[in-house]
Amino acid sequence: MKGHEIKGLWLIVPLLMVTSTGVAQDRTCTGVAFPVHTQVNGRDLTLNGLGLRKATFLRIHVYVAALYVDRPSHNPADLIDSDEPQELILHFVRNVRVEDIREALVKGFEHGGRQQFETMKPRVEKLSGWMADMKAGQRLIFVRSPERGVHVSVKGADKGVIEGEDFSRAVVSIWLGNSPPNPELKRGLLGGDCR
């Protein structure tokens, strides 16, 4: 092998290492990939975990959820009570009607307690009004900001902010509280296997 060929080889090897490292930075669940880090409002957040929403007795895959946090934790109370930014992404893997999404959200808030639900009912209705039919590959995103509330994006369209720290905690509690949509989903978001 000639000298210039050897030099060329040494340039390619580091490039391959950088490329493979970039690929390794993604985590996947049922073929849906998420980066380990993301930027939210100028803050670097880390992927806490990926969870899979399964519905009905047939265990139909509905969406893959990704939770990004400032400080990763396996403790749901730490994440629910956090005053740091968070991002929750629901990446749909099947088509879901808006009526089903609204019903699931209302049930999720109701699990936090009847009194709490009544206090937040106008805000829950506002959130429900922003929902839409979701197709496979589309995303519903909640960004929790400590001082503002929850910023909502549906299918790439910004819908606005629903104010209140109580509301932002309740949103996270839907997935990390005592009555998550399914146990595997919560376990995955807390850093367990996504399956």
* Residue boundaries of the structural domains of the chain: 27-189
Quickly count: other Cβ atoms within 10 Å of residue 4's Cβ.
Answer: 8
Q: Tell me, what DSSP letter sits at residue 182?
A: S
Q: How confident is the model at residue 132 (pLDDT cuts 50, 70, 90)?
A: very high
Residue 122 scores a pLDDT above 80: yes
Residues 6+ apart with CB under 8 A from 55: 62, 181, 182
pLDDT score at 94 = 96
Average pLDDT of every residue of the chain: 88
- DSSP code string of 25-92: TEEEETTEEEESEEEETTEEEEEEEEEEEEETTTTEEEEEEEEEESS--S-HHHHHT--S-EEEEEEE
Span 5-30, average pLDDT: 54
Return the bridge partners of 171, or none. Answer: none
pLDDT score of 142 more than 60:
yes
What is the reported pLDDT for 2?
52
Q: What distances in angstroms separate CA 29 from CA 24, 43, 94, 123, 170, one per listed residue?
A: 14, 25, 14, 32, 25
- Please determine, for residue 128, whether its predicted confidence score (pLDDT) is greater than 70: yes
Residue 16 pLDDT > 80: no
pLDDT at 9 over 70: no
Q: Identify the architecture of domain 27-189 in CATH.
A: 3-Layer(bba) Sandwich (3.50)
> Is residue 149 predicted with pLDDT exceeding 70?
yes
For the chain, helix (H) and strand (E) counts, in that order, are 6, 9
Q: What are φ and ψ of residue 112, in 5° steps?
A: -75, -5
pLDDT, tens digit, for every residue of 82-104? 999 999 999 999 999 999 999 99
Q: pTM of this prediction? A: 0.86
Angle between helical axes of 165-176 and 114-130 (0-180°, round to 10): 90
Residue 77 reports pLDDT greater than 80: yes
